[in-house]
Structure formats: structure tokens, C-alpha cells
């Protein structure tokens, strides 16, 4: 699941009041305060960003417009470069005609698997992995080859699929607030007890969470907590270089450079090629959560958490 687990990448880091946003591969050249953190190098080097991301205001106050919130969520979720909406639009009818019979009209599965959880898809960025897969298919398992559609149409399909995943992960940003609290609180409590108590407690760190957030924000932050600059949410790095090892909070990283602030507040900068970098993201668990969370569980959880006063 590279889109989440290997690319801490796109997480926009909210550093002490400065809203910084960036691309996975590349700090926005127009934003010299941009900070990007990156999990693993992608083979083949940098790819140009598909869409420029703008610094996002904090949505915690609820002031951000839905589109800005969606964009912020996308970045926070580590979803990577935004899918190409035009290509996705071209891909939609091609998908409907060639794939929907088996994978369902929204790619959520039929006699073929749900593609939103497909590692083939999550490991892919620009169709570079999916297109070859689709050309060859897996005929022995019932997935036909689609080489005859041609690279352009297959690339459009992959953009369509990436957009489906994105919409799925961004559910919280377009749901009607009034529909959020109609779940089964008891079932939500049970889900919480089973899944969340390894890290949280309703009487401890999440005490009062239902009073602190409006339902929509509760849903968003439950799926992916806001990267608000608090050390418990910042990506940490260990950098081993010629002069020894330094640990600290990542304030900037791109393909070439990494900048850390250590515990004493001292800022260090290196060329990435000179050092070995290990990143650790406290929000790693939450990055994968959106994909695993079923609609019903989400509604139940939000309904339950809203009662945690
Ligand atoms: C005749 C039914 C059928 C059609 C049509 C079909 N698929 Fe599939 N597809 C399958 C089956 C069955 C599998 C599971 C193969 C396996 O178990 O390895 C699969 C697997 C996949 C996977 C890999 C899922 C994973 O991660 O394991 C992707 C991606 C995919 N299909 C995309 C598409 C696309 C895009 C189209 C249209 C161009 C399409 N499929 C058309 C039946 C179909
Ligand atoms: C592996 C650990 C882990 C698991 C499991 C986990 N979380 Fe989190 N979660 C975190 C971390 C780390 C934070 C950031 C906490 C902080 O800054 O103090 C966080 C933050 C949150 C926040 C934001 C709180 C705030 O004040 O902004 C919510 C809500 C939340 N998690 C809900 C959940 C729910 C619901 C589940 C289960 C479905 C869950 N978490 C499972 C690690 C986890």
C-alpha cells in the first residue's frame, strides 16, 4: 500500500501555526516554506506533480470551504498526487463498458474483487504499474487481458480508479452533516473497544472528543488526525551521517534535502545523498484506516464518539 504506508510524503505538516503544504516528490517551488516528508524513495526518480497544492488553512475551526477541506484531507491522507480529473472523466465510460460487469459500477466489487482495496491500485501512481497489469490480465484467475484497449484508454481507467479511491477516502468531506449521527452507538463502542483502545481511551486521551469536535470534524480527525504541529503528530526522523546520528522532527524534506529540528530546537540540514534517513510517522496507523473503514462502521463510530463527552 505505497500510497499510504510508503509515502509519508504528502502529509502536509502543520508546523507551529504555519500551514505548509507540498507535493510528495517535490516541494512546491512557489512555496519556499513547503515541507514534505517522504517515506521511501520511488524507483525511477521524481515524477512531476500532477496538481499544485496550495497551503491549506486549518479546517479545525470549520471555516475552510469543502473543496479546500477535500484537498487538505487528500494531502493529509498521504494520497499523493491528485488524480487527473479530465483523464478520470474519459476513463469512466471505458471502465463502465469493460470492467464494471465484474468489478461493479463504482469498482467496489462484484464477481471480481473490490478494487478500492487493491494493492495493484494503491501501489500505482500514474498507471505505471496498473497499465502493464491490465494489459496482461490474470486470465488463469478470471481477469481478462485488455491490451486491445491501448495505453491511453488504460491510463484513463487508472485515473478513474484513483479518483474512486480518493472519493472513498474523502468521504468525510462531502457528507451531509445531518447524516453523520444516525449510526448505532453501541456497535460503534464495540468497534472502538476492539480497534482503537490499543492507542486510545474514551476516558483518557479522547475524553470529551464528542464535545470538542463537530460531527464532520470528528469524522475527519477520526479517519486522519490533524497534523497540527504537536510533537505527538509530527514525522520524526533519524539521520545518520559522517558526523554521527541526529534525531528530530522533520520540518522539510524533498528529493534532495532534509531539514530537522532536534530536541534542543537546533535546525539541521543535509543533502539526502550524504546521509541515511529513517522516518517514523506517529500517524502511520491512521494512514491506512480510511481504506479499511466500511461505511457502516464509520457511521457507528462517529455516532458513538459524539457521545464521548
Ligand atoms: C470477466 C470479469 C472481469 C473483467 C471484465 C475485469 N476484471 Fe479485473 N479482475 C477479475 C478477477 C476475477 C480478478 C481477481 C484475479 C485474481 O484473483 O488474481 C481481477 C483482478 C483485477 C485487479 C487486481 C486486483 C488485485 O489487487 O488483486 C485489477 C486492478 C483489475 N482486475 C482491474 C480491472 C479493470 C480496470 C478492468 C477493465 C479494464 C477489469 N479488471 C475487468 C475479473 C474481471
Ligand atoms: C496504533 C495507534 C492508533 C490506533 C490503533 C488508533 N489511533 Fe487514533 N491516533 C493515534 C495517534 C498517534 C493520534 C495523535 C494523538 C496525539 O496527538 O496525541 C491519534 C489521534 C486520533 C484522533 C484525534 C484526536 C484529536 O484530539 O485531534 C481521533 C479522533 C482518533 N485518533 C480516533 C481513533 C479511532 C476512532 C481509532 C479506532 C478506529 C483510532 N484512533 C485508532 C494513534 C492511533
Handedness of CA 193, 280, 292, 298 (dihedral sign): positive
CA distance to 112, 120, 136, 144, 307, per residue, from 140 (Å): 13, 17, 11, 9, 50
pLDDT band at 44 (very low <50, low <70, confident <90, very high): very low
What is the model's pLDDT at position 294?
80
Residue-by-residue DSSP string for 85-142: HHHHHHHHHHHHHHTHHHH-TTSS-SSSPPGGG-HHHHT-SSSTTHHHHHHH-BGGGT
Residue nearest to atom 33 of ligand 2 (CA): 222
Residue 281 maps to a domain: no
Residue nearest to atom 31 of ligand 1 (CA): 143
* pLDDT surpassing 90 at residue 306: yes
Residue 65 maps to a domain: no
Instruction: Quick: pLDDT tens for 260-294.
Output: 999 999 999 999 889 999 988 888 888 767 767 88
- Is the shortest distance between the CB of 195 and ligand 2 below 6 Å? yes
Residue nearest to atom 18 of ligand 1 (CA): 141
Residue range of the domain that includes 116 = 85-169
Residue 107 maps to a domain: yes
- Is the shortest distance between the CB of 115 and ligand 1 below 6 Å? yes
pTM over 0.95: no
What is the model's pLDDT at position 12?
28
> Which of 188, 196, 281 most suits a substitution to test ligand 2, by most atoms within 8 Å of the C-beta?
196
- Is the shortest distance between the CB of 121 and ligand 1 below 6 Å? yes
Residue 116 maps to a domain: yes
Rounded to the nearest angstrom, the distance between the alpha carbon of 134 and the centre of ligand 2 is: 37
Find where cell 532534509 sits: 258
- Is the shortest distance between the CB of 146 and ligand 1 below 6 Å? yes
Among 84-93, 169-178, 210-219, 259-268, the least confident range: 169-178
Residue nearest to atom 27 of ligand 1 (CA): 118
Residue 143 maps to a domain: yes
Residue 68 maps to a domain: no
- Is the shortest distance between the CB of 57 and ligand 1 below 6 Å? no
- Characterize 200-238 residue by residue with b for buried, 16 or more Cβ atoms within 10 angstroms of its Cβ, and e for exposed: eebeeebeebbeebebbbbbbbbbbebbbbeeebbbbbe
Which bound ligand lies closest to the C-alpha atom of 306?
Answer: 2
CATH of the domain at 133: 1.10.760.10
CB atoms within 10 A of CB 109: 15
CB–CB of 37/259 below 8 Å? no
What is the model's pLDDT at position 190?
98
% pLDDT > 90, the chain? 33
Residue 142 Cα: closest atom of ligand 1: 12
Residue 239 maps to a domain: no
Quickly list H helices, the chain: 66-76, 85-98, 100-103, 119-122, 130-136, 150-169, 185-195, 209-212, 215-223, 284-292, 295-305
Residue 201 maps to a domain: no
Among 30-34, 67-71, 120-124, the least confident range: 30-34
- Is the shortest distance between the CB of 27 and ligand 1 below 6 Å? no
Rounded to the nearest angstrom, the distance between the alpha carbon of 221 and the centre of ligand 2 is: 8
pLDDT band at 213 (very low <50, low <70, confident <90, very high): confident
Burial category of 292 from C-beta neighbours within 10 Å (exposed 0-12, middle 13-18, buried 19 and up): exposed
What is the model's pLDDT at position 256?
77
- Is the shortest distance between the CB of 99 and ligand 1 below 6 Å? yes
* pLDDT surpassing 50 at residue 141: yes
Residue 205 Cα: closest atom of ligand 2: 18
Residue nearest to atom 42 of ligand 1 (CA): 143
Instruction: Quick: pLDDT tens for 3-24.
Output: 332 222 223 222 222 222 222 2
Number of domains in the chain: 1
Amino acid at each position: 500500500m505505497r500510497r499510504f504506508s510508503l509515502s509519508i510524503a504528502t502529509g502536509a505538516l502543520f508546523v507551529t501555526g504555519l500551514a505548509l503544504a507540498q507535493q510528495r516528490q517535490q516541494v512546491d517551488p512557489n512555496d519556499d516554506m513547503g515541507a514534505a516528508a517522504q517515506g521511501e524513495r520511488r524507483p525511477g526518480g521524481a515524477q512531476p506533480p500532477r496538481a499544485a497544492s496550495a497551503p491549506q488553512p486549518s479546517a479545525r475551526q470549520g471555516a475552510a470551504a469543502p473543496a479546500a477541506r477535500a484537498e487538505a484531507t487528500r494531502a493529509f491522507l498521504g494520497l499523493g498526487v491528485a488524480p487527473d480529473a479530465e483523464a478520470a472523466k474519459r476513463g469512466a465510460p471505458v471502465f463502465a463498458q469493460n470492467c464494471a460487469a465484474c468489478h461493479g459500477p463504482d469498482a467496489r466489487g462484484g464477481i471480481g474483487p473490490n478494487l478500492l482495496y487493491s494493492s495493484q491500485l494503491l501501489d500505482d501512481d500514474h498507471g505505471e504499474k496498473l497499465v502493464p497489469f491490465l494489459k496482461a490480465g490474470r486470465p488463469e484467475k478470471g481477469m481478462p487481458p485488455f491490451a486491445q484497449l491501448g495505453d491511453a484508454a488504460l491510463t484513463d481507467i487508472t485515473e478513474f480508479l484513483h479518483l474512486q479511491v480518493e472519493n472513498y477516502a474523502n468521504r468525510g468531506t462531502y457528507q451531509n452533516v445531518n447524516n453523520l449521527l444516525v449510526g448505532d452507538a453501541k456497535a460503534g463502542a464495540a468497534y472502538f473497544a476492539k480497534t482503537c483502545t490499543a492507542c486510545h481511551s474514551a476516558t483518557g486521551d479522547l475524553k470529551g472528543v464528542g464535545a470538542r469536535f463537530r460531527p464532520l470534524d470528528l469524522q475527519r480527525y477520526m479517519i486522519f488526525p490533524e497534523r497540527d504541529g504537536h510533537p505527538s503528530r509530527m514525522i520524526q526522523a533519524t539521520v545518520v551521517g559522517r558526523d554521527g546520528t541526529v534525531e528530530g522532527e522533520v520540518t522539510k524534506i524533498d528529493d534532495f534535502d532534509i531539514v530537522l529540528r532536534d530536541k534542543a530546537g537546533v535546525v539541521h540540514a543535509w543533502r539526502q545523498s550524504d546521509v541515511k534517513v529513517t522516518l517514523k510517522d506517529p500517524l502511520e496507523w491512521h494512514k491506512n484506516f480510511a481504506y479499511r473503514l466500511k461505511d457502516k462502521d464509520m457511521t457507528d463510530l462517529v455516532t458513538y464518539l459524539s457521545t464521548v463527552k
